[in-house]
Amino acid sequence: MIKKVRIFRWDNGLRTLEDYVCIEERFEVYIVYEEFEEFLAELSASPSQLRELGAGFVVCEGYEKAGEIIDSWVEGKKIHVKVKAGDELAIEDTPYPYKARKSKLTNRKTDEIKVSPELILKISSSMTQLAETWKKTGGTHWAALFDKGGRVLAFSEDIGRHNAVDKVVGYAILNGLNLSELILASSGRMPYNMVKKVVNAGIPIVITKSPPTDKGIELARKHNITLIGFARGKRFNIYSGGYRILFESGI
């Protein structure tokens, strides 16, 4: 995840020192059917939790549903994701500059779980405690999955905010967790393509310390995702799906 490099630093004078930086590598993702496999994308990512990255990417980008994932494995720089036999999904255009076939947006069912403002604040305050690589480098995004009691079930750091979400979703898929009952926390902004991952994964609630974009808000509202941004300190903003939050006075 990290390595030391020799750098120059100016701080009322010039000096040399060793500093920690994040490792970046490129990986190819393949979807494996019963009789053939297909190249999906080349990703720049941190070299950790690669099985999870592959499984989560396939689901979060709408190629397959979580229940269709059989296994995921890594061979060198190639990540293979095996899925159940069946018809390939229809293709829909996407802003992502992937080299292979395009991903799509699918409508997954989410459970109607409810959370309190206190739980949201608890999750937001615990967000950075596990981010050891970020503490050393400042160079990663992170994502986590919580249950409705506020317990951390999955955590990931990566140089890309998209990858971090893919990794925790992939962990849930490979370990049989029900994504429709979980809460996603993320350090990154929530534009359209990030909210699309939440929709495709079937996660009902997402909490981030950062803001969403207008297109991200529109997509969250269209699919009844509870989208919470600027979750910092004692406050947070609700952009969509406020009916899942248990305020005493209602919303």
Q: Is 53 helix (H, G, I), strand (E, B) or coil?
A: helix
Average pLDDT for 149-156: 95
pLDDT of residue 107: 61
The first and second tokens of residue 169, run together, are: 């979703």
Q: 144 pLDDT exceeds 90?
A: yes
Residue listed under structure tokens 């020799």: 6
Secondary structure E strands in the chain: 2-10, 14-22, 25-32, 37-45, 69-75, 78-83, 141-146, 152-158, 183-186, 205-208, 226-232, 235-240
pLDDT at 94: 43
Residue ranges covered by each domain of the chain = 117-244
- Average pLDDT for 31-35: 91
231 is in an annotated binding site: yes
Cα distance between the two ends of the chain: 43
Residue 189 assigned to a binding site: no
Give the per-residue pLDDT at 227. Answer: 98
Distance (Å, rounded) from C-alpha 180 to C-alpha 203? 5
b/e 209-218 (16+ beta carbons within 10 angstroms → b): bbebeeebbe
- Most confident range, picked from 92-96, 106-110, 171-175: 171-175
What pLDDT shows up at residue 1?
84
Beta-strand relationship, 226-232 and 183-186: unpaired
Listed in sequence order, the residues at least 6 apart from 47 whose beta carbon sits closer than 8 Å to its beta carbon are 1, 23, 25
DSSP 222: H
Mean pLDDT over residues 31-46, rounded?
94
What digits encode the pLDDT tens for the residues 74-95?
A: 999 999 999 997 655 433 444 4
235 is in an annotated binding site: yes
The CATH number of 117-244 is 3.40.140.10
| Cα separation, 18 vs 131, whole angstroms | 21
Q: What is the pLDDT of residue 93?
A: 42
Is 51 annotated as belonging to a binding site?
A: no
Contact 229, 237 (CB under 8 A): yes
233 in a known ligand binding site: yes
Query: What was the pLDDT predicted at 2?
Result: 86
167 annotated as ligand-binding: no
Q: Residue 141: beta bridge partners?
A: 158
